[in-house]
Amino acid sequence: MQAFNRIGSVVVTAAVAAAAAVLEGAQENKPKDWEEWQGYLVQVRSTLDGTDQPCYFWAPEKASTQAVPLIVGLHTWSYDYRNASNYRPALQYAKKSGWAFVGPNFRGPNSTPQGCGSDLAVQDIVDAVDYAKGRVKIDGSRVYIIGGSGGGHMTLLMLGRHPEVFAAGAAFCPITDLARWHADSLEKHPGRGRGYAKMLESACGGTPSESKKEYDHRSPLSWLSRARDRQVPAYICTGIHDGWKGSVPVGHSIRAFNALADGKDRISEADIAFIEANQAVPEALAFKDADPFYNEKTRVHLRRTSGCVRLTIFEGGHGGNFPAGLDFLSRQRKGAPADWTLPAKGSGGSTELTR
């Protein structure tokens, strides 16, 4: 196996001081395999503004003659492509499974008008998929997307904006309503950070009352009906303590589930309020079965499946479960009903995510 098309990098500069500090820290804490990641770095020309955008790309040798699945891995909210740890689970799975991989930058941290779910950021991900398709053979019925936190936000946004591209997506602790998260971030509450509200204002051109259309346009909840109409399978999970130990209340994940689920299976706003306030689920919603991807330490509190979507709320904070999400993705095919099969054994655990 080998990497294709090795080129240099482009540095993305943040527009606000908080994001700049995050980037500086990311550069100072480069992973031990940083040089290896440079070998995967390519430049993808944006079909919207003509700029070259950094993106990681890897494909197995067999992809030159045989169509393989493609996994799109995404970075988190405050980081850019230089924090390679956000892409690593997807790349490792691709190498193990013989899939191709792309890790787009999609305009870096969500603190500029060009980032944060903008049309440019959305197109960067589509362009990254097309880049891979233009260089190796990709099975168009098996293009997947995965990410957590800001990457979860973008995963769900992409399923709604471009349901024709993806066979399925896995989103961990996603931000799904930017106006709501702006308000969440201003609350005096454990785990919340006012810096996120400032990032949103910088990206969207003001507060939600000043720039409602921008907040709505960049929010997955505005678009998920398109994914539901196309029945694009989605795996959504989050830790029950997020919002307390972490900055994204679990209601963001639950409301995304509701947007994709059949009406009879949706979770009420009263139950969402109970879960967020008590870091526990009502007894009537409690999960009683077992899942091989979650152990006693990360036990599942709530599990609901409806049509093309599954929601899992587990014991944890701002995090996700890459083994569970990747196994789910591997079972999906474009145009086929969602496959919710679980293996007899799995890697139980969760991954805390940077924000």
Bridge partners of 138? 68
pLDDT band at 194 (very low <50, low <70, confident <90, very high): confident
CA 152, 155, 161, 163 torsion-angle sign: negative
The predicted structure's pLDDT at residue 193: 81
* pLDDT 10s digits, 119-170: 999 999 999 999 999 999 999 999 999 999 999 999 999 999 999 999 999 9
Least confident of 7-21, 49-63, 97-111, 243-257: 7-21
Helix (H, G, I), strand (E, B) or coil at 83: coil
Token readout for 124 is 């960067």
* pLDDT 10s digits, 58-86: 999 999 999 999 999 999 999 999 999 99
Token readout for 5 is 């098309």
State the pTM of this model.
Answer: 0.91
pLDDT band at 344 (very low <50, low <70, confident <90, very high): confident
All domains of the chain, ordered by start, with CATH?
A: 17-352 (3.40.50.1820)
The span from the CA of 206 to the CA of 183, in Å, is 13
Question: How big is the CA angle at 56 (ends 346 and 46), to the nearest 5 degrees?
Answer: 130
